[in-house]
A and B are shown apart, each in its own frame.
Chain A
Amino acid sequence: MTVTEPKPSYKYIGTRPVRHDGVEKVTGRARFAADLNLPGQLHGIAVRSPHAHARIVSIDTSEAEAMPGVKSVITGDDFPAVAPGDRNYDMCVNVIARDKVFYEGHAVAAVAAITREQAQQAAAAVKVAYDVLPPVLTIDDALAPGAPVLHGHMLTAGADPPAEEPSNISNITRFAGGDLDAGFAAADLVIEREFTTQPVHQGYIETHACVADTGQDGHTSIWCSSQGHFNVRSSTATLLGWETTRIRVIPAEIGGGFGGKTTIYLEPLAVAMSAKAGRPVKMVMSRDEVFRATGPAPGTRLKVKLGVQSDGNLVAGDAYLIYTNGAYAGPGGLLGAMTVFESYDIENFNIEALDVVINTARSAAYRAPAAPLTAFAMETLLDEVATELGIDPMDLRLQNAVTEGDPSTMGFPFARIGFVECLEAIRDHPHYTAPLGPNQGRGLAAGYWFNIGESSSATVNLNEDGTATVVTGSPDIGGSRASMALMAAEVLGIDVYDIRPVVGDTEAVGFTDVTEGSRATFATGMAVVEASRKMVVELRGRAAKMMGVDVDDIDWVDGQAVYTGSDGEKDPLPLAAITGKAKRTGGPLTTTGSLEAHGAGPGFAVHLCDVEVDQETGVVRVVRYTASQDAGTAIHPSYVEGQIQGGVAQGVGWALNEEYIYDSDGVMENPSFLDYRVPVASYLPMIDAIIVEVPNPAHPYGVRGVGETGIVPPIPAVANAIHNATGCRLRDLPMSPIRVLDAITSNGGSKGA
Chain B
Amino acid sequence: MSRVHVTCTINGDPIEFLCDGGQTLLDALRDEVGLTGAKEGCGTGDCGACSIVMDGRLLCSCLALAPEADGTTISTVEGLASGDDLHPLQQCFLEGAALQCGVCTPGFLVAAKALLDRNPDPTETEIRYGLAGNLCRCTGYDKIVRAVQTAAQTINES
Contacts and interface: CB of A to CB of B under 8 A. Distances in A.
Asked if A and B touch directly (CB within 8 angstroms), the answer is: yes
A27 interface: yes
B103 A673 contact: no
A642 B101 contact: no
Nearest to A30: B102
B147 to A, nearest CB: 10
Contacts of B102: 21, 25-26, 30, 253, 255
Contacts of A257: 101
Interface stretch (A198-206, A408-416, A540-548, A579-587): A198-206
A286 to B, nearest CB: 6
Nearest to B143: A642
Contacts of B25: none
Contact of B47 (A202, A643, A673): A673
B27 to A, nearest CB: 8
A642 B41 contact: no
Interface string A681-702: 1111011010000000000000
A16 interface: yes
A255 B125 CA distance: 27
B144 A681 contact: yes
Interface footprint category on A: 35 or more
A457 interface: no
B139 interface: yes
B101 A477 contact: yes
Contacts of A286: 43
B14 interface: no
Contacts of A253: 101-103
Contact of A256 (B37, B86, B137): B137
A34 B49 CA distance: 13
B36 A673 contact: no
A678 B104 CA distance: 14
A649 interface: yes
Contact of A205 (B95, B135, B140, B145): B135
Contact of A650 (B44, B49, B137): B137
Contacts of A642: 97, 100, 138-140, 143
Q: Determine the main DSSP class of B at the interface with A.
A: loop
B100 A639 contact: yes
A501 interface: no
Contacts of A19: 94, 97
A28 B78 contact: yes
A26 B86 contact: yes
B136 A684 contact: no
B61 interface: no
Q: B94, B125, B137, B145 — which one has the most chain A CB atoms within 10 A of its CB? A: B137
A412 B109 CA distance: 49
B129 A645 contact: no
A650 B76 CA distance: 29
A26 B99 contact: yes
Given A204-B101, A687-B140, 18 more contacts: A19-B97, A23-B86, A23-B90, A26-B90, A26-B99, A28-B106, A34-B40, A35-B36, A205-B103, A207-B41, A253-B101, A645-B140, A673-B41, A673-B44, A674-B46, A678-B135, A680-B133, A681-B134
Interface of A: 16, 18-19, 21-23, 25-32, 34-35, 37, 117, 202-207, 253-258, 284, 286-287, 477-479, 636, 638-639, 641-643, 645-650, 672-674, 678-684, 686-687, 689
